[in-house]
Amino acid sequence: MSIDATAFTRAMSRVPGPVAVATTVDGAGRRWGFTGSSFSSLSLDPPLVLICLAKTASTHAAFAGSPHFMVNVLNGDQAEVARRFAKSGVDRFHAGDMVPCELGLPGHPDAALRLACTRYDMLDGGDHSILVGRVEALHVAAHPPLVYCDRSFTQPMPAGQLT
Ligand SMILES: Cc1cc2nc3c(=O)[nH]c(=O)nc-3n(C[C@H](O)[C@H](O)[C@H](O)COP(=O)(O)O)c2cc1C
């Protein structure tokens, strides 16, 4: 028996996730990027992270063809950046806020965390590809990260404030 897609999507929306913008540069020097909440740490030795990208996404060919990518974990005030990099049919780099950072990859100077990766593997994940990156350089800022939960952007709250 197959699970109903709407029920599955609704169920998974209850799981809080980080909000990242993954970027890369293709062979012609063109920049590509997408908003992804399917970002996770994977391995310590070697240092690996993963992010999943829909096979139908306009950015898929660029990420599949590039040896490097950057993961920008957005800070709590960057919901606008997340929305922009999820929008179809627009130049997501028009705001000029992504600049060459670690390994020369497009990064946001205000991101909570930047991870510059060499592509370690690309695995099949159903209708998504699982991009596995080996972290070559990182930058950590003091800003708290952006969180996506229940289809809204939010920020982590100390447990004491929840009661
Ligand atoms: C909060 C949020 C999280 C998202 N997470 C992912 C993700 O993990 N993987 C993915 O492929 N698309 C994700 N998307 C959708 C992409 O950002 C983008 O909208 C999609 O790739 C369609 O873009 P296209 O016009 O380039 O095909 C997310 C969108 C939002 C708003």
What CATH homologous superfamily does 18-151 map to? Electron Transport, Fmn-binding Protein; Chain A (2.30.110.10)
Q: What does the pLDDT read at residue 157? A: 77
pLDDT digits (tens, 9 = 90+) for 105-148: 999 999 999 999 999 999 999 999 999 999 999 999 998 999 99
Q: Where are the domains of the chain?
A: 18-151
pLDDT digits (tens, 9 = 90+) for 19-45: 999 999 999 999 999 999 999 999 999
78 Cβ neighbours under 8 A, 6+ residues apart: 19, 108, 110, 111, 146
88 Cβ inside 6 Å of ligand 1: yes
Rounded to the nearest angstrom, the distance between the alpha carbon of 33 and the centre of ligand 1 is 10
Rounded to the nearest angstrom, the distance between the alpha carbon of 120 and the centre of ligand 1 is 22
73 Cβ neighbours under 8 A, 6+ residues apart: 18, 19, 20, 39, 111, 112, 113, 114, 115, 145, 146
Tell which one of 13, 26, 35 to mutate to probe ligand 1, the residue whose CB is within 8 A of the most ligand atoms.
35
Is the pLDDT score of 84 beyond 90?
yes
Is the pLDDT score of 163 beyond 60?
no
The pTM of this model reads: 0.95
Atom of ligand 1 nearest to the CA of 53: 11
